[in-house]
Amino acid sequence: MNKFGPLWRAAALAGLLLSAGSLAAPAQAAQADIDLLKVYLGSWKGRGVLTGSNSETVVCRLSLSEGNQEKINYSGRCTLAGTNLSINGTLAYIDASQRYEAVMTSNATFSGVAVGRKQRGGVVFNLKERDTSDDQDLNITATIALAGGAIKVDFNVVDNKTGDTIKASVPFSK
């Protein structure tokens, strides 16, 4: 039986949304790479279902705004099972790495970096992290797709001790 608590679910959801402080290296990108991210500036709303041993509705808001040095700042909030998850982060194209990166932090002690690549006329970010805090052992994978004028987030969390899994898909629209 899945015994994930609300804080654990919130930490798992943090892996989904990508957010955080600043990138270590300055972003110096071609204008087309920057413009590809700027298409998604604005306020977004998302609703999806978190599934595991039980199903729960996930309701999210996400805001993308212009930042310094050709970066895009984002912040968001999701609610599930009476728990609020706040996230903050930065999206950028890093010339030195020839890739997009999203850096994130959350109020659920989760942080990470997702690598993005051009796909389907947009950018798809992939995050893979292992969280061993608070006597847990979780594998978190998330995909954030900015494509076709929409944002979609899919994530999967596996408890390595029990094999229990939580999944969610949250489509966002303006």
Residue 154: give its domain's CATH number. Answer: 2.40.128.20
- Specify the pairing of strand 122-131 against strand 72-80: unpaired
**What are the tens digits of pLDDT across the range 145-154?**
999 999 998 8
**What are the tens digits of pLDDT across the range 7-55?**
445 555 554 443 322 233 334 457 888 889 999 999 999 999 988 888 8
Q: Which domain holds residue 35?
A: 6-173
Count of domains observed in the chain: 1
Q: Is the residue at 76 inside a domain?
A: yes
Report how far residue 125's alpha carbon sits from residue 123's, in angstroms, rounded to the nearest whole number. Answer: 7
Average pLDDT, the chain: 80
- Look up tokens 């052992």; give the residue: 137
Q: For the whole model, what pTM was predicted? A: 0.75
